[in-house]
Each structure stands twice: as C-alpha cells, then as structure tokens.
Amino acid sequence: MKIIDLTEDRKDLFCLCLEDWSEDAKEAGPKRRQWLDRGEPRGLRAKLALDDNGIEGGMIQYGPIENSHVDGSGLYFVYCIHVHGYKQGRGNFQRHGMGTALLAAAEEDARRLGAKGMAAWGVWLPFWMKASWFRKHGYRKADRQGLSVLLWKPFAEDAQPPRWFPKVGRRPEPVPGKVNVTAFVSGWCLAQNLIYERARRATAELGDGVAFREIDTSTRSSVAEWGLSDAVLVDGKNLQKGPPPSYEKVRKTIARRLRRR
C-alpha cells in the first residue's frame, strides 16, 4: 500500500469518489469539482491510497476547520474517508487497512501544518463513517446532532473541541402558491450533490408550479446563518431520510405536493 497526495491527473476520479464506473456518481454533476477547485487555495487537502498494483482504493479529504461546515478553530477537519467497497469497477479494498493508513497520513500532515488537533464526523449507528471506528483511532466525542457525531483528537493542550452549528437557522421566505424546493448545497459530498441534481431536474420538468431555490453553503458563515450544510427541502421537509432517493422518487414527492396545491 502507498499513500499519495492527490495529483491533477486523478482529480476527476477523486471527484467521483473512485466510482468512475457508477452512473449515479456521474449524475451528481460538477459541484464536487467546483468545491475542490475552490477549496484548494484555502487549504483543502486530499490523499489517495494505492494498492501494490498502483490502483486507487481509498481516499481522504480534510482541511482547516475554519473553512468547513463545523464550528471550531485551530483544527483540521476530515470531511470524508472512503475506501472503495463495491465489486464493480476497481473492486473491494475494504478491511485491508487503507482507512487507517489514510487517517494516519492526514493526521501527520495536519501536525506538520501546525494544527492543534484533528476533527471528524461519524454516524453513531454501525454503517458508513462509523463514529466507533474513529474512537478506535483515539478520537472522542465533542458534539452530537441526531445520528451525526462530531469527534476530535487534540494534538495540543490548549486545543478547543469543535461544535456543530445549531440546526435552527433562518429559512427562506416561500413563494406563495407554489411548491417550494430549497437546495442547500456546499458541493463536498457526492451523495448530497446527487440529490441536488435530481431535485433540480425534477423541478424543471414539473413547470411553473414549483419554485426552486439554491443556497450556497460552501462557507462557514452561510452554514451558521441557515443552520444547514447540505439538504433539499420540499415545502420545508427534508427530501432525504436515508440513502439518496432515486430520481423517480424525488419527482414523485414534488409532484404529490404540486397536486395538493
């Protein structure tokens, strides 16, 4: 195994979360590449894990917490660690230590850059980005919002723990007489970008009875203002309650609200 910095020739693959075989990943559109290009000058970092044959099997993305959707100072924040686990495409690379190696490399890099600690988020239930996995690597709970746990590992005695921004923020004024679809989008998450693209396409197809509004949450001030980082709301209700819903389900949800008008 080899850990490398993200190179220019691998950025397209990175922005597809190593799933260049997936039509869903391609459907998620250009938001993630825009997020990467915007974030790199502000300290965004990324590394890839290669197997012995030079095949990309895992990735990590992290950067200064001041430029993230989390409240904190002096820390680096891990947006995501992803190890490809599908049989399709490049195959299953999980349970071979790639995630551990990526996290260790990112921590070493953050220390070198002067960070006072590392923060990450996880889910307290045993599936993707498990909080328990980070605990095994020396992280401890700093905050929690629903299923999402914010964890951290201090490097310095004066390091301060991170916090989630309060979810209660202001909401945009609805357009009277229309179904209001509001997309809060930062661009960092492929799955969230996929929901955004499907909602945007569905609202365009359903016509003038639907008002679509996009709110850029790529800055911390915007997240603090709205209380949300990535979400698509249909008349104030979150469209996602699990994995990204299919385009058909997204369109059906909006169309159902439209028929009730």
Closest CA to 185 of 194, 197, 173, 193: 193
pTM: 0.93
In the predicted model, is pLDDT for residue 7 greater than 80?
yes
Measured distance CA(205)–CA(10) in Å, rounded: 34
Same fold, 2-154 and 179-259: no
Task: Report helix angle 247-259 to 190-206, nearest 10.
Answer: 40
Per-residue pLDDT, 126: 67
List pLDDT tens digits, range 217-256. Answer: 999 999 999 998 999 999 999 988 778 999 999 999 999 9
Backbone angles phi, psi at 122, to 5 degrees: -150, 170
Per-residue pLDDT, 260: 84
Sequence ranges of the domains in the chain: 2-154, 179-259
In the predicted model, is pLDDT for residue 8 greater than 80?
yes
List pLDDT tens digits, range 106-141. Answer: 999 999 999 999 999 998 776 678 999 999 999 999
List pLDDT tens digits, range 137-155. Answer: 999 999 999 889 999 999 9
Per-residue pLDDT, 84: 96
| pLDDT over 70 percentage in the chain | 99
Out of 1.10.3720.10, 3.40.630.30, 3.40.50.410, 3.40.50.300, the CATH code matching 2-154 is: 3.40.630.30
Instruction: Give the type of residue at 14.
Output: F
DSSP-assigned states of every residue in 143-211: EEETTEEEEEEESSTT----BPPPS----PPPPTTSEEEEEEE-S--HHHHHHHHHHHHHHHHHGGGEE
In the predicted model, is pLDDT for residue 59 greater than 70?
yes
Closest CA to 65 of 53, 75, 56, 57: 75
**What CATH number labels 179-259?**
3.40.30.10
CB atoms within 10 A of CB 91: 13
In DSSP terms, 62 is beta-bridged to 45, 78
